[in-house]
Amino acid sequence: MTTDTTGTAARDDAPRPGGPADSPFVRACRRQPVPHTPVWFMRQAGRSLPEYREIRANVAMLESCRRPELVTEITLQPVRRHNVDAAILFSDIVVPVAAAGVDLDIVPGTGPVVAEPVRTAADVERIRPIGRDDVSYVDEAVRMLVQELGDTPLIGFAGAPFTLASYLVEGGPSRTHAKTKALMYGEPELWHALAGRLAEVTLAFLRVQIEAGVSAVQLFDSWAGALSEADYRRFVLPHSIAVLSGLADVGMPRIHFGVGTAELLGAMGEAGADVVGVDWRTPLDAATRRIGPDKAVQGNLDPCVLFAPWPVIEAEVRRILDQGRAAPGHVFNLGHGVLPETDPEVLTRVVALVHELSARG
Ligand code: CP3
């Protein structure tokens, strides 16, 4: 118990008014009333910003994720510029996998590339459990960021078992996920061993970020949309549940996102998140009918609409805000990440427009 200046007892776990746990973003995730619809952008920290390109000019991607000062600066860049309602930690979904001993790199223009793809039980065994000491740079960066951000919430994140497994089994990005599916159908026990191990790594990585002070976490299952609902339920859902339910005791908002998941939204909602991310293919009112009335939604402007003339963008933002009202909470976002060619000034205008149109007086 703490005592406030009036001498009344205040609960230690009550969010500080105006603090990150009482921010419009966290409140929307919790389906509480908000002063305006909060907005942030997946991949807001990155190549659409000249100040990002400059600071990254001579530093490799993975190396930049391991330097806390650099992580802090890059995470703050879009917050300063766009007035977004949340920051997202600058990192990558493969950072904890590299910390677990997998030899990999992030190749510019390609994405994660794994030196020796995972194909056998011995390969799975070599993926070590991780703890804070293995990712101390993330712990340090989150602590620095929480100080710098003040009332703006910081979102921690990790990759979900299926999306991580796809990079590890394929050896790099894949359009069809053919090798991953071959492993799933052909050697289901090995598949479950791999996905189970990745769920442990992901859970540990998210716990480090939570203990260091993030205000919410997002679990990215970007490529889950490659699966049928039946296969998703059988091969993937139990492992995503292991991650999300493993965080239930923390009581912190959990967001679960994938691309091309129209057929999976109901099942993804069952994984245990408080908020389900929706890509641009499914209108938010239809999405909320599939997800159910007890979860908030996040999305879902097509990142390509940002290249259209302003009146088109404005009409799309209005439509999404209208359709988002069908859900018990709405966090405005894109349907997938910011594309590198995006004009950052358009992103700033979208933030202002979302705030203006959704302001509740
Ligand atoms: O602003 C933010 O959203 C935080 C930063 C962030 C990055 N990666 C930085 C990054 C986040 C949240 C991610 C998650 C991530 N990484 C996902 C899930 C989200 C999604 O987009 O679906 C996935 C699938 C990855 C794997 C990955 N890493 C890909 C596909 C790529 C892009 C390859 C390319 O160069 O086009 C990366 C590299 C990467 N991760 C970059 C950034 C800023 C680009 C590297 C660079 O700037 O040189």
pLDDT attached to residue 187: 98
Q: Which residues pair with 88 in a beta bridge?
A: 155
**Residue 44 near ligand 1, beta carbon < 6 Å:** yes
167 Cβ inside 6 Å of ligand 1? no
Amino acid at 281: R
Angstrom CA distances, 168 to 171, 178, 324, 358, stand at 5, 13, 36, 42
The answer to whether the CB of 45 falls within 8 A of the CB of 82 is: no
- Whole-number pLDDT of residue 7: 39
Report the residue among 41, 65, 104, 106 best suited for mutation to probe ligand 1: largest number of ligand atoms under 8 A from its CB.
106
Q: What is the pLDDT of residue 6?
A: 40
Per-residue pLDDT of the chain (361 residues; tens, 9 = 90+): 333 444 344 445 677 888 999 999 999 999 999 999 999 999 999 999 999 999 999 999 999 999 999 999 999 999 999 999 999 999 999 999 999 999 999 999 999 999 999 999 999 999 999 999 999 999 999 999 999 999 999 999 999 999 999 999 999 999 999 999 999 999 999 999 999 999 999 999 999 999 999 999 999 999 999 999 999 999 999 999 999 999 999 999 999 999 999 999 999 999 999 999 999 999 999 999 999 999 999 999 999 999 999 999 999 999 999 999 999 999 999 999 999 999 999 999 999 999 999 998 6
CATH of the domain spanning 20-358: 3.20.20.210
Using CA atoms of 235, 158, 30, 277 in order, give the dihedral in degrees to the nearest 10. -60
Neighbours of 129 (CB within 10 A): 12
Yes or no: say if 295 and 276 are a contact pair by the CB < 8 Å rule: yes
Gap from CA of 49 to ligand 1 centroid (Å): 14
The question of whether 56 is a catalytic residue gets the answer: yes
Please state the domain extents for the chain. 20-358
Count of C-beta atoms within a 10 Å radius of residue 18: 10
Q: Cα of 349 to ligand 1 centre, how many Å?
A: 23
Phi and psi for 216 in degrees, rounded to 5?
Answer: -160, 165
Rounded-to-integer distance, Cα 72 and Cα 56, Å: 13
How many angstroms separate the CA atoms of 234 and 220, rounded?
A: 19
User: Which 3 state secondary structure label does DSSP give 314?
Assistant: helix
To the query of whether residue 43 is one of the catalytic residues in this protein, the response is: yes
* Angle formed by the axes of helices 310-324 and 344-358, nearest 10°: 40
pTM: 0.95
Cα 20–chain centre separation: 17
What are the E-state strand segments in the chain?
Answer: 2-3, 9-10, 87-88, 104-107, 111-114, 154-159, 216-220, 254-257, 275-277, 296-301, 330-334
Nearest partner of 260 among 224, 228, 234, judged by Cα: 224
Residue nearest to atom 31 of ligand 1 (CA): 111
Is 16 in the active site?
no
pLDDT at 16: 81
Between the CA atoms of 157, 161, 165 and 168, what dihedral angle is there, to the nearest 10 degrees? 40
**Closest protein CA for atom 27 of ligand 1:** 111
289 annotated as belonging to a binding site for a ligand:
no
Q: Is 141 annotated as a binding residue?
A: no
What is the Cα–Cα distance from 242 to 93, expressed in whole angstroms? 17
> Is 355 annotated among the ligand-binding residues?
no
Ligand 1 pocket member 233 (CB < 6 A) = no
Does the active-site annotation cover 233? no
Residue with token string 């007086």: 361
CA dihedral sign, ordered 217, 222, 228, 234: negative
Q: Roughly how many angstroms between the first and final C-alpha of the chain, as a whole number? A: 34
